[in-house]
Structure 1
Amino acid sequence: MGDRDYGFTFDGEPVFTHIQQDVPQPPESGLDQDLFVFVMGPYTAFDAGYVYDDGEQLENPFIADPLFDPESHVTADGRGSFRQALEDICTSFREEFGVHAFLATDVAIPTEQEAGDDEPSMSVLDQSVAFAAVSDAIVFVFTKAGLTTGVGSEVGAILGEFHLRRGNPEPVRKPHERFRIFKTADFSSASIDEIPSTYGIDTVEFEEKEELVRRTQHFLANIERDDPDRPLPVFNPYTGV
């Protein structure tokens, strides 16, 4: 597995060391105990109460969704948390596949907004780039119940950072095969919908959570498979050559 430093550090230690220390551990079974899966998606759920003047009069202001459950994925102040839905997905990946599936918020590195005075910090985008760089697989999850404001541009910035945009003459920093977009058929976003053609990242559709888990397992099994004729590096550090 190696140290996976790749030049990404925080507070004097490799970012990968922080990930190893902080992310939840999988059971002692599954695909590969050394497989790290970075899961990304929106953290906020669509709430009609904040969009429409009469939204608060609705019995349920949230969208029916295969991942977001308004009964369990709502914070104490009544806000919909799609992040909690993603946390449940990570739990399923860990329990069913035995991999280290995690969200950015699982890693105890303060963002610039979270850090106190004179406390070391790392911007949200810098964290996402580093977490994606050192992970074996990156899974993007989107449904119509999640607000994609912000995360769409973040995904594009990450893929651009790794030189994955079609026609980019720079050497690819991370193979396209290590990324996958999973979305429901009714999800639509201009920025996300353009990723397959712009960056060459495959999209897989799902209807239910069980289907998402099953199709992710196929994706991770292909990542894990050792193919001596087609080496698939985790990351290609910049050498300056």
Structure 2
Amino acid sequence: MTVEITRELITDRLGRVTYDRFLFYLMGPYKSFNLNYVLSEEERREIDVDELPGPLRRLFQNKDEINAAQALLRRVQGELRADPGVNAFLALDVDVDTDDIDAVTQSIEYARCSNATAFVLPFLGHNFGVGEEAGSILENLAETHGDRLIFVHETDVTSAMIRSASVRWDLRIETYETEAELVAKLRRFLGGVMHRERRGELSRL
């Protein structure tokens, strides 16, 4: 059976919140980047991790923390579902099989159906796949949905995709240093989108 991604499908597969019809698609890496997976054992022995600056030391995190990036997204999702009560979701929540619709196409359709979409890029995130999906979304939706999209990256993150989003697509870019600051900036962004919808400056979906 062919699956069609619609607002109704997404809403039906999510739990109830105050603003059920305000869909907020949270994109970001599900796995943390870890240099223990990249360097050989001999190369790792030559590095005194304790002597590295904090941001670099974090790249040698314990392998048990590899899912820290997804845990961050889940915490942010929970905060936003509670306050302001929007229907924040990850692609995993909609549970569409990639055999039916590939991951990039899913992301494009989730963003198209959503009132707002955020690309969250933490320093520890394994961001390569996210960059590809973000680029596809921007290619397809920046012109029509640009006011509903935001990139929020941790201060230490630099990326050609972030630069392109700013220069080529004139997308809103924000930085954060703490998780609390990330949540606060997303809340302000969501409040702005909701306000513009109420004023008729953005169409209600």
Structure-1 separation of matches of 2:23 and 2:199: 23
Structure-2 separation of matches of 1:79 and 1:232: 40
RMSD: 2.8
Shift of 1:79: 6.2
1:24 to 6, 15, 32: 15
The match for 1:108 is 95
Identity %: 24
Could you tell me which amino acid in structure 1 is paired with residue 76 of structure 2? I
Shift of 1:213: 0.9
The match for 1:80 is 66
Shift of 1:64: 5.9
Counterpart secondary structure, 2:168? helix
The match for 2:180 is 210
Say if 2:191 is the partner of 1:221. yes
2:112 to 129, 133, 139: 133
Structure-2 separation of matches of 1:227 and 1:91: 23
TM-score (norm 1): 0.71
Per-residue CA shift, 1:114-166, capped at 9, x if unaligned? xxxxxxx111111111100010000110122001112112111111112x3xx
Could you tell me which amino acid in structure 1 is paired with residue 153 of structure 2? K
Say if 2:115 is the partner of 1:145. no
Alpha carbons 2:24, 2:86 under 8 Å: kept: yes
Structure-2 separation of matches of 1:59 and 1:84: 24
Structure-1 separation of matches of 2:122 and 2:163: 12
TM-score (norm 2): 0.82
Shift of 1:192: 2.4
Alpha carbons 2:5, 2:109 under 8 Å: kept: no
Alpha carbons 1:134, 1:234 under 8 Å: kept: no
The match for 1:36 is 23
**In proportion to residue count, which structure has more helix?**
2
Structure-1 separation of matches of 2:124 and 2:165: 20
Alpha carbons 1:39, 1:103 under 8 Å: kept: yes
Name structure 1 gaps, 5 residues minimum.
Answer: 1-9, 113-120, 165-171, 236-241
Structure-2 separation of matches of 1:221 and 1:156: 25
Name structure 2 gaps, 5 residues minimum.
Answer: none
